[in-house]
Amino acid sequence: MIKFLDLQKQYQSIKPEIDQAIADIVNKCEFVGGEAVKNFETNFAAFQNAEHCISVGNGTDALEIALAAFGFDRGSEVLVPANTFFASVEAIVSAGLMPIFCGCRRDDHTLDVQDAAKRITSKTVAIMPVHLYGHPCDMNEILSLASTHGLKVVEDCAQAHAAEYKGRRVGSIGDIGCFSFYPGKNLGAYGDGGAIVTNNGDLAVRCRMIANHGGVSKYDHEFCGRNSRLDGIQASVLNVKLKHLPNWTETRIQVAKAYDDALAGVDGIEVPLRQNWARHVYHLYVIRVGDRDGLKVKLAERDIQTGIHYPIALPSLAAFADHPQANADMFACEQDKHLLSLPMGDHLSTQDALEVAAAINT
Ligand SMILES: *Cc1c(COP(=O)(O)O)cnc(C)c1O
């Protein structure tokens, strides 16, 4: 059996460290706030090369809080790729803003900046590049579009911990960046978690206040915010796992390289492009294939688990039935027909990748 994801295997490889970290929190009863949370914010800011890190309850909250921090007028428009996880768009709606779906590039699957440019109106206030599957977006193009039109740049980095654009870690290349620590992400907690990073001190304070009932200190509420926190146990787990992330990322890159080489000559299979300026961290390894559903079944018969990211184009979801772009078929987003995610993660070896490739070839 070649698993899509294997969190148990990873836990077994770091069990003593994790057990100790969790036991420390329970012994101290530092369940909310405390040293582990502070340390994680410091460690993660340094890791992503950002000045500030605000930990929050999950990645969706991170996006929603980051958007709210700008204080945009209700109904203002935010450009977002049509192929991403639902939460990118949901956060825009929850922040009282209007998502405008944009096309995706066929080769590296990230936001098509030329297509986004055509969708700018007088109400557009922000653009949300999603570093989809772990491949960084073309940030120079996005920053130049943003500066021409006065847009804020909110990076969705939920799949892109340690990813780099031209040698720079994602997250603080734009105005603000949002991470998820959902267990299946490249850096995952043992529950929900998220973080916001930025080099803008004012935005950082604003985010912290929103996430902390509208104030920085207890009982001092300047406005109505919300409650969104990373808890002590999750922070302690993340502090342990952050130290292993460079190795785990290297493993993903090696597994991807094995797939690239082994699948290069296979008829009818397109491997994912990595732009030469990208450090792709392969949250997902997504191939394009004619009979996607057929291949998925055949691989399952050989005990090889695969995934589809994402099975329904966002504009076609029931949630957007009333959206002006509902059911729009204009995205060159073939995710609903031809994209297949192969097993990927630090639980795999290059030998596993060769076995998967051989099965695909057969
Ligand atoms: C996982 C994910 C999110 C949401 O993160 P949660 O922690 O699950 O709320 C947002 N955007 C993208 C692209 C994601 O993959």
Tens-place pLDDT, residues 271-313: 999 999 999 999 999 999 999 999 999 999 999 999 999 988 8
Interval 45-62: pLDDT, tens: 999 999 999 999 999 999
Interval 78-122: pLDDT, tens: 999 999 999 999 999 999 999 999 999 988 999 999 999 999 999
In angstroms, what is the span from residue 158 Cα to ligand 1's centroid? 5
Gap between the Cα atoms of 189 and 182, Å rounded: 6
Pocket lining: 85 vs ligand 1, CB cutoff 6 Å: yes
Q: Which helix (H) or strand (E) holds 263?
A: helix 232-263
Q: Which residues of 244-283 are buried (b: 16+ CB within 10 A; e: fewer)?
A: ebeebbebbbebbebbbebbeeeeebbbbebbeebbbbbb
Pocket lining: 182 vs ligand 1, CB cutoff 6 Å: yes
Q: Which atom of ligand 1 is nearest to the CA of 60?
A: 9
Please give the average per-residue pLDDT across 194-210, as a whole number: 98
Pocket lining: 58 vs ligand 1, CB cutoff 6 Å: yes
Pocket lining: 345 vs ligand 1, CB cutoff 6 Å: no
Pocket lining: 84 vs ligand 1, CB cutoff 6 Å: yes
Gap between the Cα atoms of 20 and 299, Å rounded: 39
In angstroms, what is the span from residue 186 Cα to ligand 1's centroid? 12
